[in-house]
Amino acid sequence: MAKTKPGRKDLESYTIKGTNKVVKVGDCVLMRPSDYEKPPYVARLEKIEADNRSNVKVRVRWYYRPEESIGGRRQFHGAKELFLSDHYDVQSAHTIEGKCTVHSFKNYTKLENVGAEDYFCRFEYKAATGGFTPDRVAVYCKCEMPYNPDDLMVQCEGCKDWFHPSCMGMTIEQAKKLDHFLCSDCSTEDDSKRTLNSFPVSPQSEHK
């Protein structure tokens, strides 16, 4: 934690310019990008500080979108997925344009409605190396991919694994109408157990 410099004062909260929305340390915010074509940056407020002329600065910890990461967006990344990075910055509080919520992966999958301000984070991200924590995640389905919460999956009553309708030769509409589902392995033989249960998510070069 950086020490407060003389003439500066730590603030508990900041009211977003032009609004009555109040943000506090620990809140997640949307920050105006320099390029107006781009979506807003997402950050977590670590510190709010005013100087003796009442200019407010915020220390932020950036969230990265999958497309901003070294490995890029991959098939299992959700549309609202963010990675909590180890990249910190100090910005003028004026660049804050709104508040948002970054949910845990589990809470995000339980949301009944995903609003524009709802995001989720399941990985921490090292900006210098492109590495993720955790380094491996569980995989599902025949295609052995990590769960993308944007894609519907159906659970097999036999092996309890989750499957993409398309990987089982079904449409999403057909899958939604099913009362019971058995995957192709469970409906024939049950001896072909899955042996792979993890998937590397960091770039290969990351391995020590």
Which residues are near Zn ion by CB under 5 A?
141, 143, 156, 158-159, 164, 167, 183, 186
**Shortest distance, position 170 Cβ to Zn ion, whole Å:** 11
**Shortest distance, position 103 Cβ to Zn ion, whole Å:** 24
Q: 90 or 138, CB closer to Zn ion?
A: 138
Identity of residue 102 = V
**Shortest distance, position 83 Cβ to Zn ion, whole Å:** 23
| The residue to which tokens 């100090």 are assigned | 90
Q: 25 or 159, CB closer to Zn ion?
A: 159
Handedness of CA 26, 27, 28, 29 (dihedral sign): negative
Q: 25 or 182, CB closer to Zn ion?
A: 182
**Shortest distance, position 111 Cβ to Zn ion, whole Å:** 23
Alpha helical stretches, state H, 1-140: 105-110
How far, CA to CA in Å, does 56 sit from each of 16, 49, 52, 59, 61?
A: 11, 6, 10, 10, 17
Q: Please give the torsion angle defined by the CA atoms of residues 157, 163, 164 and 167, in that order, rounded to the nearest 10 degrees.
A: -100
Token pair for 160: 């309890």
Q: 4 or 188, CB closer to Zn ion?
A: 188
